[in-house]
């Protein structure tokens, strides 16, 4: 495992920094695109209202062959959010329940991911995180699971210990842009497919998939940055 030092200053946008971290979190349905033809991802475009009242458009694609779902939306401040759910190799601890998931979730990202070895976790990581090669994070609990499954430890890079990170101030409270701090990025998914709907028919003995259910979810991600200039959006105390 490589030392905590980063390889230069990443130029990625905030959205790109957190993409591989979101995938283990959501319970989107498998095979939403089923019925559109083998190997042909289905696309859905919806207009959604954000928490601040503004309206934007989301683009969703489901690939039943690859067992993945992709979501893309542009926030009013220009940030492009791209979300990919890979159900073959991420989301290892998720337990799917037939209920709507709501409320914010706090995620502390305390391990960095080696981009050059990221394909061992998911084939989507290379495309999704190409502009954030030095700023990809995950959690220790997920790392332990992957290591138990035989993933090589070179995929992960050490960051300052959790006890050391706790002592660091939030980036919003640091005046010197060259100082290390804890960065926070909040993400709100206003609408995403979270569950399958099942229907009953007179000519079918068992329930069958007949649609999807939509959910809303909010996340706050905390992660270490060696310089405040890598977290200029975190201005809230």
- Report the pLDDT value the prediction gives residue 153, as an integer from 0 to 100: 93
**pLDDT at residue 181 is higher than 90:** yes
Confirm whether 59 is domain-assigned. Answer: yes
**pLDDT at residue 236 is higher than 60:** no
Count of structural domains within the chain: 1
Q: What does the alpha-carbon distance between residue 136 and residue 118 come to, in Å, rounded to a whole number?
A: 10
pLDDT confidence tier of residue 176, bands split at 50, 70 and 90 = very high
Query: What tens digit of pLDDT does each residue of 120-151 get?
Result: 998 888 888 888 888 899 998 999 999 999 99
Cα dist from 187 to 104, 126, 146, 197, 208, whole Å: 9, 22, 25, 26, 33
Confirm whether 93 is domain-assigned. Answer: no
Query: What tens digit of pLDDT does each residue of 1-51 get?
Result: 333 334 333 333 333 344 333 333 333 333 333 333 444 567 888 888 887
Please state the pTM of the whole predicted model. Answer: 0.60
Confirm whether 224 is domain-assigned. Answer: no
Give the end-to-end CA distance of the chain in Å, rounded to a whole number: 33
Confirm whether 11 is domain-assigned. Answer: no
Confirm whether 78 is domain-assigned. Answer: yes
Query: What tens digit of pLDDT does each residue of 74-105 get?
Result: 888 888 888 887 777 776 666 444 356 667 88
Domain of residue 52: give its range.
42-88
């Amino acid at each position: 495992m490589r030392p905590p030092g980063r390889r230069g200053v990443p130029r990625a946008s905030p959205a790109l920094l957190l993409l591989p971290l979101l995938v283990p979190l959501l319970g989107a349905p498998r095979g939403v695109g089923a019925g559109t033809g083998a190997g042909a991802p289905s696309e859905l475009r919806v207009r959604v209202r954000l928490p601040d009242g503004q309206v934007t458009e989301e683009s969703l694609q489901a690939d039943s062959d690859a067992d993945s779902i992709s979501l893309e939306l542009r926030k009013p401040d220009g940030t492009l959010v791209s979300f990919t759910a890979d159900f073959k190799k991420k989301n290892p601890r998720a337990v799917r329940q037939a209920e709507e998931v709501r409320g914010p979730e706090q995620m502390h990202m305390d391990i960095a991911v080696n981009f050059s070895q990221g394909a061992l976790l998911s084939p989507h990581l290379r495309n999704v995180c190409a502009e954030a090669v030095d700023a990809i994070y995950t959690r220790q609990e997920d790392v332990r699971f992957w290591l138990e499954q035989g993933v090589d430890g070179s995929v992960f890079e050490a960051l300052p210990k959790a006890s050391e990170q706790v002592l660091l101030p939030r980036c919003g409270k640091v005046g010197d842009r060259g100082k290390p701090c804890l960065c926070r990025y909040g993400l709100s998914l206003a609408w995403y497919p979270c569950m399958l709907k099942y229907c009953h028919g007179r000519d079918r003995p068992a329930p069958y998939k007949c649609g999807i259910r939509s959910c809303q979810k909010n996340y706050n991600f905390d992660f270490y940055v060696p310089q405040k200039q890598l977290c200029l959006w975190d201005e809230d105390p």
